[in-house]
Amino acid sequence: PPPPPPPPPAPIPPYAYNYAVLDTESGNDFSAEEEAKAGAIAGQYKVLRADGKIMTVSYTVEGDSGFVADVVTELPPPPPPAYGAPPAPLPSYT
């Protein structure tokens, strides 16, 4: 007789995690979060790409659907304006 079918996979236990790194000196800016409950997994991660754009990937994994992702790429917010020294006062002649 043929071997018995493999047992179904064990259910995914509930869990959640998140982390973030923002280091302006090195340019590192990324974060991630993920949660599993009721057999479904949902999460998101964000990275600052080398071209300066921010890429955010939101994803789900549920049942037989596999990894389903939505990717959004956007420009980072502009830096605050740099203010120089105030102009020198105009000379006055009396």
pLDDT > 70: what percent of the chain? Answer: 100
Q: Which residue has the higher pLDDT, 5 or 82?
A: 5
Q: What is the pLDDT of residues 53-80, one digit of tens each?
A: 899 999 999 988 899 999 999 987 777 7
Three-state secondary structure string covering 19-63: EEEEECCCCEEEEEEEEEECCEEEEEEEEECCCCCEEEEEEEEEH
Q: Are the C-beta atoms of 60 and 40 separated by less than 8 Å?
A: yes
Does the predicted model carry a pTM greater than 0.85? no
> 51 vs 41, which has greater pLDDT?
41
Average pLDDT, the chain: 90
